[in-house]
Structure 1
Amino acid sequence: MTRWLILSLAVLMGVPAAAETLVAARTIRAQAILTAEDLNLTPGSTPGALSRPEEAIGLESRVILYAGRPILADQVGPPALVERNELVSLVYATPFMRIATEGRALGRAGLGESLRVLNISSKTTVRARVTGPGQAIVETP
């Protein structure tokens, strides 16, 4: 009777799921788009590492990912839509006005990411958020 009670309690309480860590299946160069073939799951948990392939597929590697090593969340991000030194359409918008000019990207960034852009007209550097390919909107404080 006690064996059934213990077994019932174990089932009701649930058995902890085995933790898995996402690792690179092969060495992946920086700026490569990750696919399912690039990824493997290994048993165990690594703090800061991704744990499911869906979290990484379609993202871009920010650094070289070495085979068998865990893939950390800050090592991947959205694919870059703006490249360094690329001319971008730079927009400053408020509820009352909209100013559009041309700028030069001072780094690489993906959709929604922030980067520094040199306003070609005024020669000042502003922080902007990427809104599309070759497009950025000035971030206001």
Structure 2
Amino acid sequence: MRALLLFLALIPPLPAMAGGLIAARTLPAGTLITSGDLRAGDETAQENSDPSQIVGQETRITIYEGRPIQASMLRPPRLVERNQIVRLLFQRGTLHIATDARALDEGGAGDLVRVMNLASRTTVTARIAPDGTLHAAR
């Protein structure tokens, strides 16, 4: 059994048989995709044949060179990393409060994440804005 696993580990990856866009190089998880990372595959495939839908996305998993890029392998780019110090905004009516907080989760635009207010040490839930600021959820 061990010999079989060793043999399978030494086999190089096969070229992609599916079409659409394929990886021009190995893309580790968390890589922000650029146009140089893509290569055209088989013309008959319909999934992800438009580079504008893929460029700017972040990889969820490692995508090896020559493999087709599927939507399930991608996510919106992370704007906030875990333990990052972020600006937390609270607004209710005419009351506006801005403070620093520590992100307890990672996320992209529109995601809800937990953050700890550095001044009061309380944990609140906040939504990530496209500019990277966080707005306390109501």
Q: TM-score band (shorter)? A: 0.5 to 0.7
DSSP 3-state at the match of 1:82: coil
- Taking structure 2 as the reference length, the TM-score comes to 0.67
Question: Alignment partner for residue 76 of structure 1, among 51, 65, 74?
Answer: 74
Partner of 1:29: 28
Task: Write the deviation string for residues 13-55 of structure 1: whole angstroms up to 9, x where unpaired.
Answer: xxxxxxx533222210122221122112333558xx5331111
Q: Deviation above 4 Å: which 4+ runs of structure 1?
A: none
- Cα 1:138–1:74 change in 2 (3 A) is farther
Cα-Cα RMSD: 2.7
Q: Number of paired residues?
A: 119
Highest CA radius of gyration, 1 or 2? Answer: 1
Residue segments in structure 1 that go unaligned for 5+ positions in a row: 1-19
Tell me by how many angstroms 1:112 deviates. Answer: 3.3
Aligned to 1:42: 41
After TM superposition, the score normalised by the length of structure 1 is 0.66
Aligned-partner residue type, residue 81 of structure 1: L
Equivalent-residue separation in structure 2 for 1:127 and 1:21 (angstroms): 39
**Counterpart position of 2:97:** 99
Give unmatched runs, 5+ long, in structure 2.
1-18
Distance (Å, rounded) in 2 between the aligned partners of 1:74 and 1:128: 26
